[in-house]
Structure 1
Amino acid sequence: MHAILGAHGISVSSDFFLWSQGPLQALLPHAILVCAQLGADGSVLRSEAWHSAVLDPVQLRDINDTRDGQVARLAQAWRAGGQKAVVIGQVLVHGNVVAGGGSFFALFCTSLPDPARQAYVLELLLPYLHLHWLALQDRVRLPMAGPAASRAASARELEVLHWVSIGKSNEEVGQILGISGGTVKSHLQRIYKLFGVSNRTQAVSRGLALRLLSH
């Protein structure tokens, strides 16, 4: 719960880094966390490594290369193995496939004392990794015209949209996130304006189309 609640404040890259090196690191110790965006065919479109130690640039290129790098090979093995949280060598991997693409995460670990438990924890945290990494305001921009394209959806807005997408009312979302139903409504109004839609159903459909939500 500490890791999940700690993810709520993520809005920029530095927030994500601190979360990955704090609450996430406490649950899933790792030397390197690699986050990758997947294309419709499952290929790695881009990847980014998060780490506190200084790494050799050659090593980073070998990890991040979208065609022949370690993450590309790991993503291929993960897909072939049934897309489950699993340990491949010393790397804990899992991903989230949505319409038109998805995300993939690889944690390069120095030790794996309990691989089954660590895979289970990664499965629990996967929605938050997916949501907040793709929502980073300095990394993701919504592909649409008009003034709304000048900013990305915030992490809080995407949290609200996530709970709305699974049928929660404004009051229920407020209870989950620790805010009022009126505040949830305000977040939804901003989402409507940002997405260029007029209701909850359209907002959820738009979020799915933009790969900001999973099915």
Structure 2
Amino acid sequence: MEPVVILSRQEQEYLLCAIESGLRVASPRQFFLWTQGQVQALLPHQVLVCLQLGPGAALVRLECVHGTVLAPAAQLALTDPHDGLALRIARHCTQGGRLPALADFGTAADQPLEGFRDETRRMGFDSVLVHGTGPTSAGGSVFVLFGLPLRPNPRHAYFLELLLPHLHLALGRLPASQLPAGGAPARPLSAREAEIIGWLRAGKSNDEMGRLLGISALTVKNHLQRIYRTLGVSNRAHALARCMDLRLLEE
């Protein structure tokens, strides 16, 4: 018999706050504020990768949420829609019936997800926590948390289990996003947009790109939004992956 987890009064308050706040999440901005606010209070982490998986564990949607700066190369390695670390961990856990899965790579060997130890630590994370719905008629979802600041333990897995249905429903309410796919973009990128993609690959922030190009950070942001719509993506990592697919980053 599994041990009973008794929540403290403060944990109960955090859980109720996270559930109540999650009911109102209906946009990417609200999802970000919720996961990096109320959810963080109960379950601290550095990066949250949310995946919707269809039949045969095919990736339908991927969202990466983090409150700290994440280098573009590291984010792409985590969230590559073809072979990213988060996707491989999600499929490994889903197909093997290993949900929830918890690994603390800062301790002894023979951890769950041991096969991902070296790659995860190279990215600067010592811990991973994974949980998901399993297959459902509407498609399953998996949530992969990287970098829990405290030594993760079964209590953290229980917190994620309590939040799982609310994460799943909130993710499903977000506007549909497109993953990088084959075929040409809706239109060719302009010369300025190509410049911005180049600086994006170099890891420059909006402010840094603005100074380099002699434009404001807001103008850079507007260019990025047009680039995302043109490429059919939702964030920087997806834009870089899409450009790599289309060989737009080649000289």
The question of whether the paired residues in 1 share the 8 Å contact of 2:102 and 2:152 is answered with no
Q: Residue 184 of structure 1 aligns with which residue? A: none
Q: Residue 17 of structure 1 aligns with which residue? A: 32
Residue type of the alignment partner of 2:55: A
Distance 1:14 1:78, change over 3 A: same
* 1:91 to partner: Cα distance: 1.0
* 1:67 to partner: Cα distance: 2.2
* 1:55 to partner: Cα distance: 1.2
Of 152, 157, 162, which residue of structure 2 is paired with 1:124?
A: 162
Q: Is 1:70 aligned to 2:85, yes or no?
A: yes
Q: Residue 130 of structure 2 aligns with which residue? A: 93
SS at 1:41 equivalent: helix
What does the per-residue CA deviation read over 1:130-188, in whole Å, with 9 as the maximum and x for residues that have no partner? Answer: 0011111x3369xxxxxxxxxxxxxxxxxxxxxxxxxxxxxxxxxxxxxxxxxxxxxxx
Provide the rounded CA distance (Å) in 1 between the counterparts of 2:152 and 2:75: 27
SS at 2:163 equivalent: helix
Provide the rounded CA distance (Å) in 2 between the counterparts of 1:51 and 1:24: 12
Moved more, 88-97 or 5-14: 88-97
Which structure 2 residues correspond to residues 16-165 of structure 1 after superposition, within 5 A? 16-88=31-103, 89=105, 90-96=127-133, 97-99=135-137, 101-136=139-174, 138-139=175-176
Residue type of the alignment partner of 2:176: R
Aligned residues: 140
* 1:114 to partner: Cα distance: 4.1
SS at 2:159 equivalent: helix
Provide the rounded CA distance (Å) in 2 between the counterparts of 1:24 and 1:134: 17
- The higher radius of gyration belongs to 2
TM score, norm. by length of structure 1: 0.60
The question of whether the paired residues in 2 share the 8 Å contact of 1:91 and 1:107 is answered with yes
Which structure 2 residues correspond to residues 158-177 of structure 1 after superposition, within 5 A? none
Residue type of the alignment partner of 1:125: L
The question of whether the paired residues in 2 share the 8 Å contact of 1:36 and 1:47 is answered with yes
SS at 2:23 equivalent: helix
SS at 2:41 equivalent: helix
Structure 1 runs of 4+ with >3 Å offset:
none
TM score, norm. by length of structure 2: 0.52
User: What is the RMSD of the two structures over their aligned residues, measured on CA atoms?
Assistant: 1.9
Which 5+ residue runs of structure 1 have no aligned equivalent? Answer: 142-215
Which 5+ residue runs of structure 2 have no aligned equivalent? Answer: 1-15, 106-126, 179-251
Q: Residue 108 of structure 2 aligns with which residue? A: none
* 1:112 to partner: Cα distance: 4.0
Q: Residue 242 of structure 2 aligns with which residue? A: none
* 1:4 to partner: Cα distance: 0.5
* 1:44 to partner: Cα distance: 2.5
Provide the rounded CA distance (Å) in 2 between the counterparts of 1:95 and 1:78: 9
